[in-house]
Amino acid sequence: MDLALRPGTPADWPGIAQLMQMTFHASWDDELDQVKHGIFEPDRALVATDGDEVVGHAVALTRRLTVPGATVPAAHVSMVGVAPTHRRRGLLTQLMHRQLAEVPEPVAVLWATESQIYPRFGYGLASWRVSCSIETREVRLPEPAEPGRLRTVPVEQARPELARVFEAVRPGRPGWSDRDDRWWSYRLADPASHRQGSTTRRITIHEGSAGVDGYALWRARSKWSDTGPNGEVSVDEVVAINPDAYLTLWRLLLSIDLTRSVKVWATGLDDPLLHLVDAPRRLGTTVGDGLFVRIVDLPAALAARRYAVPVDVVIEVTDPLRPANTGRWRVTGDAEKATCTRTEEPADLACGITELGAAYLGGTSLAALAAAGRVRELRPETLAPVAAGFGWPVAPSAIEIF
């Protein structure tokens, strides 16, 4: 049976929510439904129905993404799923192909539940996610030079300050996405079904001499062993404008009474905590895949970001799903400006659109991709300087699921 795709409508939400519950094996409730519904954009959704049942769905959410030296409009792809009864009929392929054909932003970005799926649609692994399982009795942090005041505050009281601190930090962090009121409501929502036996979310802010300059979102779970308290702290995010605020917040999180461990699901490869503790091995770090980036409009995307060192290179690109991206492109740029124009000049490098997506945030080296045989150097001694230019001093990271 051929199932045609159509644009979503507000009336589709209950069916989409039911599909998401089935696809992701989630315990859905009214509170969680309201949280998800708050960010839903029906006019940017695609649905497939079989009778009255929604059996396939994908949506592109409207946000801006920080990239090296700039921010760009980015389609944040989310809520992608196909009903178990309708798998292997090509629905996911139809959804991805049509969405790519209709996305107006220069790039699209997503978290992959199955990392082998999305590269075939041109998405490249652009950031790495560092998780920590910290043995708090085994690590020590230095004293901050100027410790400030810490306060744990209610959500509504803290929200304006959280937004101000986040916006002060976000423009310098590739991989972070902007948050309007809807997205702050989504981030700070605390449905009981997500707590997994832990407390409600705590919000602790740090006040320095110039006012609030950092915050931590966290929760704790009570555990006991035969030898006493063995509780666990779960950290959602720590954002700080300066090192003292960051250090003071982490000193608190690693010393919560009756706890012996701290879990961090997502931080970056260059998180300062990795360099602050006296026993880095006791952080229990693991590395997994983070954001996947798909370049949709190649000249717009490569001209929008900045380059760590000057580049002037011709790249031959292949893109089976977006033929307008296929061809030779001359990229010139530095830390201040960039251009990308079609050219007939001989190419210096050659790669697919997936590889450019992987390198786009500055965290996946073109040289590393070349070593894997995924980028070809066509003109000798071109790769190294171009790889340096596509890099960036701050490693990309992503601290929230969308």
Residue 27 pLDDT grade (very low, low, confident, very high; cuts 50, 70, 90): confident
Asked whether the beta carbons of 206 and 181 are under 8 A apart, the reply is no
- Mean per-residue pLDDT for 244-252? 98
- Return the pLDDT at 1: 58
DSSP string for 246-300: HHHHHHHHTT-TTEEEEEEEEE-TT-THHHHSS-GGGG--EEEE-EEEEESSHHH
- Return the pLDDT at 175: 98
Residues in CB range of 128: below 8 A, 6 or more apart? 268, 269, 287, 288, 289, 290, 363, 395, 397
- Mean per-residue pLDDT for 119-146? 96
Residue 4 pLDDT grade (very low, low, confident, very high; cuts 50, 70, 90): confident
- Mean per-residue pLDDT for 250-271? 97
- Return the pLDDT at 194: 86
Torsion sign (Cα): 36, 42, 46, 50: positive
pTM score, whole prediction: 0.95
Q: Record the tokens describing residue 303, joined without a space.
A: 């001209």
- Return the pLDDT at 391: 98
**pLDDT above 70 covers what percent of the chain?**
100
- Mean per-residue pLDDT for 12-35? 91
Residue 32 pLDDT grade (very low, low, confident, very high; cuts 50, 70, 90): confident
Q: Record the tokens describing residue 141, joined without a space.
A: 């942090």
pLDDT digits (tens, 9 = 90+) for 284-336: 999 999 999 999 999 999 999 999 999 999 999 999 999 999 999 999 999 99
195 pLDDT exceeds 70? yes
- Return the pLDDT at 348: 98
- The SS3 of residue 14 is helix
Q: Return the closest-CA partner of residue 394 out of 304, 271, 248.
A: 271
- Return the pLDDT at 29: 84
Residue 193 pLDDT grade (very low, low, confident, very high; cuts 50, 70, 90): confident
Long-range contacts of 275-278 (CB under 8 A, 24+ apart): 276/141, 276/142, 276/247, 276/250, 277/139, 277/140, 277/141, 278/139, 278/140, 278/141
pLDDT digits (tens, 9 = 90+) for 196-212: 899 999 999 999 999 99
- The SS3 of residue 99 is helix
151 pLDDT exceeds 90? yes
For residue 18, which amino acid is it?
Answer: Q
Q: Tokens 């011709």 correspond to what residue?
A: 314
- Return the pLDDT at 116: 94
- Mean per-residue pLDDT for 41-54? 96
Residue 2 pLDDT grade (very low, low, confident, very high; cuts 50, 70, 90): confident
